[in-house]
Structure 1
Amino acid sequence: MPAFASLLELLPALAVGAALGFFGGMFGIGGGIIAIPLFVIGYGMDQPLAQGTALVMMVPNLLVGWWRYSQRHPVPIGRALSIGALAAATTWVTARFANALNPVTLKAIFALFLLVLAVHMLARHRTPKPHTTPRVAPRFIPLVGLLGGSCMGLLGVGGGLVATPLLTGLFGLRQTVAQAFALALVAPSSVIALIAYADAQRVDWALGLPMAASGLLTVSAGVAFAHRLPEKQMRTAFAWMVLLTAIWLLASPLVLR
């Protein structure tokens, strides 16, 4: 009976992890943007614990994605290592800072990040894409790791979401190449962020590990499903979901008094 009871407790985590893996693959993200608000709102976690637990799920997904993407879209190894090293160092510093912040303050910062991201995504779909030409010399590409690593350390997410537009807009990289560089930044940064959050006792391993395992099984299905849907409508729906989540995170302390 104890074993059966443990299985019943494990099943919800497996189901949630599978769903997060599917939606992460569907929207081309690590899943943290969905997982962290879920942990805060649905599981009652404080913000640092939610971010640390989400990283348990994100790390294997991002490492597998980095490996597979590098096979199809190889990037110069020197620049990939440089952007990854700068991002990892910045991640460690900002993650330590995040764990020292008041959880309520960190939650507000995370919600504002989601709000800005959602507004940017919605605005981008309403305006035509400009022709991108390099405006910054390629040798400065590793500096993007500073911004991406800061997001990963402070918020547990967002490294790729910040890096990819910078790489396409400032450096004129093609989208596929920019995403390959972004994965070179995010994958090692996620490992460093997880180590920092674990060192601060901000990780629920009992919840995160089952989610990570089941999420790995459904990522490919999410990617396959995404290719059957109109991309513009799918991205718009995701942006609205992020916007509503941000509004709820900001408003919930007032509504639930």
Structure 2
Amino acid sequence: MESWLYILCICLILGAAIGFMAGLLGIGGGLIAVPALLHILPQVGVSAEKIPHVAIATSLAAIILTSLSSARAHHKRANIPWPLFKSMLPGFVLGALCSGYISEMIAAKSLQQIFAVFVILMAAQMAFPFKAQSNRDMPSAAHLFIAATVIAVIAALMGIGGGVLLVPFLTWCGLQMRFAVGFSAATGLLIALFGSIGYTLAGWDAAGLPDWTLGYIYLPALVGIVSTSMLMAPIGAKAATTLPTAKLKKIFALFLTLVGLKLVFA
């Protein structure tokens, strides 16, 4: 079997798991996709120094379509405070576009270890959720721009949509939780889109990449993940009404911690 076809089949299964877990636990797919791709990609000839970049870029590209459906749902429920985009949109675009070029300045081993530490921190947040609702006023436009840029850089560097960073920040700023989540869904789409563009441009002429890549995005893996994740997310969401999601989140957080520790010492 052709290596790209093998990866496509593996990623169809991976995408199903990502979609189901995303719907069940309300987590971003990047926390599952990136570690899995770090393990899978060497089998298609991605050079060792490019594996983290391709894994993260492919994860970001997969988030585009999944974020689109989430953003549409929140828009229909009037959960997206669109006026906030005036201050934060330029920062999201700038940070996401720069992420691909910033990743090229980080050694593959260091990028993998940074991601691993991030996974462990997110596992802790999942097991012991941080709630930061407050009554303080929204920061100035300049501060929101800076915050948006930093959040977009970190999110795109880690191959995630950014909700785990943006929602706590916005609730800390005094925004109601439902608006923070809705805004995060919309901006996750933007971060994934412009982050993918950044990784595509940064990896356009990169050496050590196999066929079927678009910059740093590995297309067979992308197609496989997206195809099944979007089908399984509603099933996971339905299962969330009957399964003990709080206990499952803690179990999954332990699993993520073990994955993160393995990546740190790999």
TM-score w.r.t. the length of structure 2 is 0.82
**Contact 2:79/2:183, CA 8 A, preserved across alignment:** no
Indicate the residue corresponding to 1:31 in structure 2.
Answer: 29
Counterpart code for 2:88: I
**Contact 1:84/1:186, CA 8 A, preserved across alignment:** no
**Contact 1:75/1:180, CA 8 A, preserved across alignment:** yes
Find the aligned partners of 2:37 and 2:86 in 1 and give their Cα distance.
33
1:17-75 Cα offsets, whole Å, 9 max, x none, are: 22222112222233111000001124436111111111232110011111111111433
Among residues 151, 163, 171, which one is paired with 1:148 in the alignment? Answer: 151
Indicate the residue corresponding to 1:15 in structure 2.
Answer: 13
Report the 3-state secondary structure (helix = DSSP H, G, I; strand = E; otherwise coil) of the residue aligned with 1:90: helix
Indicate the residue corresponding to 1:137 in structure 2.
Answer: 138
Distance of aligned partners of 1:203 and 1:123 in 2 relative to their CA distance in 1, 3 Å threshold: same
Distance of aligned partners of 1:146 and 1:76 in 2 relative to their CA distance in 1, 3 Å threshold: same
Indicate the residue corresponding to 2:170 in structure 1.
Answer: 167
- Deviation of the 1:250 alpha carbon: 0.8
Report the 3-state secondary structure (helix = DSSP H, G, I; strand = E; otherwise coil) of the residue aligned with 1:145: helix
Indicate the residue corresponding to 1:255 in structure 2.
Answer: none
Indicate the residue corresponding to 1:192 in structure 2.
Answer: 194
Counterpart code for 2:152: G
- Deviation of the 1:108 alpha carbon: 0.9
Comparing 46-55 with 151-160, greater Cα deviation is found at 151-160
Distance of aligned partners of 1:191 and 1:138 in 2 relative to their CA distance in 1, 3 Å threshold: same
1:90-141 Cα offsets, whole Å, 9 max, x none, are: 111123101332111110111111122223333448xxx67x3223426558
Distance of aligned partners of 1:94 and 1:197 in 2 relative to their CA distance in 1, 3 Å threshold: closer
Find the aligned partners of 1:67 and 1:91 in 2 and give their Cα distance.
21
Residues 56-71 of structure 1 aligned to structure 2 (within 5 Å): 56-71=61-76
**Contact 1:55/1:190, CA 8 A, preserved across alignment:** yes
Indicate the residue corresponding to 2:230 in structure 1.
Answer: 216
**Contact 2:80/2:182, CA 8 A, preserved across alignment:** yes
- Structure 1 stretches of at least 4 aligned residues deviating more than 6 Å after TM superposition: 5-9
Among residues 199, 203, 219, which one is paired with 2:217 in the alignment? Answer: 203
- Deviation of the 1:167 alpha carbon: 1.3
Distance of aligned partners of 1:10 and 1:70 in 2 relative to their CA distance in 1, 3 Å threshold: same
Distance of aligned partners of 1:47 and 1:68 in 2 relative to their CA distance in 1, 3 Å threshold: same
Among residues 96, 103, 110, which one is paired with 2:101 in the alignment? Answer: 96
Among residues 125, 131, 142, which one is paired with 1:120 in the alignment? Answer: 125
Report the 3-state secondary structure (helix = DSSP H, G, I; strand = E; otherwise coil) of the residue aligned with 2:256: helix
- Deviation of the 1:81 alpha carbon: 4.8
Indicate the residue corresponding to 1:51 in structure 2.
Answer: 56
Find the aligned partners of 1:218 and 1:120 in 2 and give their Cα distance.
24
Residues 173-184 of structure 1 aligned to structure 2 (within 5 Å): 173-184=175-186
Find the aligned partners of 1:6 and 1:103 in 2 and give their Cα distance.
22
Find the aligned partners of 2:125 and 2:169 in 1 and give their Cα distance.
13
Report the 3-state secondary structure (helix = DSSP H, G, I; strand = E; otherwise coil) of the residue aligned with 2:221: helix
**Contact 1:27/1:238, CA 8 A, preserved across alignment:** no
